[in-house]
Amino acid sequence: MNLLLLLPAGLAALAALLMPLLIHLARRSEHRPTDFAALRWLRAMPRPRHRVRLDEWPLLLLRLLLLAALALLLAEPALRERQDSRPRIAVSPGVDLAAARALPHADDAQWLWLAPGFAPINTDTADRSPATLGTAQPVGSLLRELDARLPAGAALRVIVPAQWGALDAQRIQLARAVQWQVLPGHSPLAAPTPPAPLHLQVVTDDTAMPALRYLRAVQAAWALPDRLPVVTPAAAQPPRWAPGTVVVWLSPSAPPDSVIAWAAAGGQLVLQAQAPVPAALAALLQAAPETDGEPLLEAAALGRGRVLRWTAPLQPQQLPALLDADFPARLRTAVQPPPTPHAAPAQTQQPQRGAAIRLNLPPQSLAPWLVGLVLLLFALERWLATAPRRNAAA
């Protein structure tokens, strides 16, 4: 820890230390000679040298300490963690720790797990199974956090298993060059949660509109049970829609707040082409992921769910993809994108050099401790200043 002063000008208050010194000098007791008759028979003695004497020096010392503590409090002292520039070796769970330690490395290198908290690898954790340190947090996010925490001059070496994860959707960019080493093994990952089964729900005012036949074809191609449910906006009941339901809103009227809230809670709402949406949401609309070709839908996240909108009206003249044999498959990919790969060969995931990101950890203020010290010194000073023996001496 390094001690620093956030406001060094506050130390100018140390000049107030002269005040108690001057007060004690001015109020010190003086011994005045008293003449009486017998003194004339005594031989005159040389006068002793005059010395400065301070009475009640414990009280003076307390007052000086109190003023010094107040001046230090004004200077706002704080503690900042000392920068440790030793090289770091981050070991990803799934790597044989004995094989990792057998690699050439610096003697002063600090070993740590590439896991939340970055636990150091020492005698307490050396025998711990790496599988117990596995995490659902993407390893790329952990590497970025570690890179931001380390001092700029600290070298970083990362040892990862051949099959590495869990991955996120971003390429890893770090502020420093990384020594990347791959050993046999695989990251301990939990099995991905299967998506909820899809259901279609159509909301429209015209139950005989031509667009319904294309959606009925999708219902059959997806092998969904029962017939395609179609309701009017007045009969829409979001609480009764099962998880995984995709609501196709073909009514010209805007969806009510209950339907919007249902989508924000994790549902998917598909609106007509050119349907009005809030400006903040319209700016986020992007083409939904699917196979090659003109996009069928554009989508934007809304809470834990999504709002989608057809790129053209559901008519073959304006959306020719309706007549393609792969239309149901493309629509399914758009509303239920394939999951992101959880793991990949580690050789393909080596970080690239990017912009520097630093975590500016605030220094730890010492003000609470100094306030306590000031109160304690003030209480002691008042006790000594008002002590009965002092009053009796006065």
Element (H, E) at 220: helix 211-221
Check residue 127 and give its pLDDT.
47
pTM: 0.49
pLDDT < 50 stretches in the chain: 125-127, 129-132, 134
pLDDT reported for residue 80: 74
Determine the 3-state secondary structure of 249 from DSSP.
strand
The per-residue pLDDT for range 22-65, each reduced to its tens digit, is 877 777 655 566 666 666 666 666 665 555 556 678 888 888 89
The CA–CA distances, whole Å, from 18 to 21, 64, 114, 225 equal: 5, 9, 57, 92
State the DSSP string of 324-349: STTHHHHHHHHHSPPPPPSEEEGGGG
What's domain 199-335's architecture? 3-Layer(aba) Sandwich (3.40)
Domain positions in the chain are 1-23+55-80+361-393, 88-192, 199-335
CA distance 96 to 185: 8
